[in-house]
Amino acid sequence: MGFRKKSKSPPVLSHEFVIQNHADMVSCVAMIVLLGLMFEVTAKFAIMFITVQYNVTQKDKPESVNYYKYGPKDIATVFFYLLIAIILHALIQEYILDKINRRLHLSKTKHSKFNESGQLATFYLCSFVWGCSILTNEEFVTNPTFLWEGYPHIHMAFQVKFFYICQIAYWFHALPELYFQKVRKEDIPRQLYYICLYIFHITGAYVLNLHRLGLVLLVPHYLVELLFHASRLFYFSDENKQKGFTLWALLFVITRLLTLTVSVLTFGFGLSRTDNQGFSLAEGNFNVLTVRMTCLSAICLTQAWMMWKFINFQLKKWREQSQIQAIKKKAVSPKSRPSKKDSREPIRPKKLKRTEARREKD
């Protein structure tokens, strides 16, 4: 990891050198971008990486409010905050997770899972709190129809757009972290699946101007994932602490049903009955049957895949527990009782038995 002092430095630009010092390299690139703000020639390009682009002021309202659109320049902003995510990842790993790992003395398998859960739990906690603060300022609690009313929702508040920029940057940063963290080969496919699903769904909601629906679906999902990874962290510290998994299983099923209900309500009833029907890239309008059915099918297939993985996980866990209980019953079962003749005979020490045997031989 970066920021860590090593007694023996590997060869420059070798794999081990890049892995150990990747955070230092990335921080240098980020500093170069920040230094670009100091010069007029490069300030216009540097500010494109740091600040949110495509500002729009609506003057038709009594108070002028700044809103934002999306565009190609957002790629530069996502790239910069991807670098920030790599640096923060290294800091959390170096100063928090590694210190806890040294105290717990975990195996290699548990060590990698502990690091994964520690990083994801931190991210889910921050995203959940941030998402809740955004939703409290919206009208969803009092008026659920705001999910589709006025579509296309091409204008976003600063908090909403910055939230999506950070979300996309974080999940893109997770791809190179598979190399930087030396993730085991057997764990790479599993992590690639959920990383690509996050990128696909979050980017799709951002590009198709469905950021309201995406935000409403992400917040409860992040709460469930936060509970799972927090429960796994407690389980690694003490294997008797498994109550959190029961609560997670209950909320997981409820969240899947909630996601399907809100998605069907939005795509099947809300958007299909709005006046603004049609497909226009210039206006950001994607309210046609093909796009609606594609989005709804993608959400339903993802939820079905997650439920399939969840059921397999619960069955595997149930089998392991039943096997453990069966072994315990065999160990606790009463031993065969001695016969009456054996019980009448007094128990004699081994030395006394040896002396009697010698006498019989003599």
Q: Is the pLDDT of residue 26 over 90?
A: yes
Torsion sign, CA atoms 158, 92, 188, 16: positive
pLDDT 10s digits, 225-243: 999 999 999 998 877 777 8
Range in 116-120, 123-127, 309-313, 317-321 the model is least confident about: 317-321
Over residues 117-145, the pLDDT tens digits come to 999 999 999 999 999 999 988 766 678 88
Task: Please state, in angstroms and rounded to a whole number, the distance separating the CA atoms of residues 203 and 209.
Answer: 10
Q: Confirm if 195 and 119 have CB atoms less than 8 A apart.
A: no
Which contiguous run of DSSP H or E holds residue 189?
Answer: helix 188-207
Average pLDDT over residues 213-230: 96
pLDDT exceeding 70 applies to what percent of the chain? 87
What pLDDT score was predicted for residue 271? Answer: 93
46 class by beta-carbon count within 10 Å (0-12 exposed, 13-18 middle, 19+ buried) = buried
Pairing of strands 55-58, 278-280: unpaired
Taking residues 198-214, what's their average pLDDT? 96
pLDDT digits (tens, 9 = 90+) for 61-102: 556 678 999 999 999 999 999 999 999 999 999 999 999 988
Q: For residues 135 and 216, is the Cβ–Cβ distance under 8 A?
A: yes
- Residue 59 vs residues 53, 56, 64, 70, 279: alpha-carbon distances, Å: 19, 10, 5, 20, 27
Residue 156 is given by DSSP the state B
Q: Which pair of structure tokens corresponds to residue 136?
A: 């409290």
Cα dihedral 64, 70, 73, 78, rounded to 10, equals 110
Residue 144 CB partners (closer than 8 Å, separation 6+): 265
Residue 176 host element (H or E): helix 158-180
Residue 318, pLDDT above cutoff 60: yes
Q: Are strands 278-280 and 65-68 parallel, antiparallel or unpaired?
A: unpaired
Is the pLDDT assigned to residue 362 strictly greater than 50? no
| Residue 335 pLDDT level (bands cut at 50, 70, 90) | low
pLDDT digits (tens, 9 = 90+) for 150-182: 899 999 999 999 999 999 999 999 999 999 998
DSSP conformation letters of 216-268:
HHHHHHHHHHHHHHHHHHHHHH-TT--HHHHHHHHHHHHHHHHHHHHHHIIII
Phi and psi at residue 58, in whole multiples of 5°?
-95, 110
Residue 149 Cα distances to 4, 153, 226, 270, angstroms: 52, 9, 31, 8
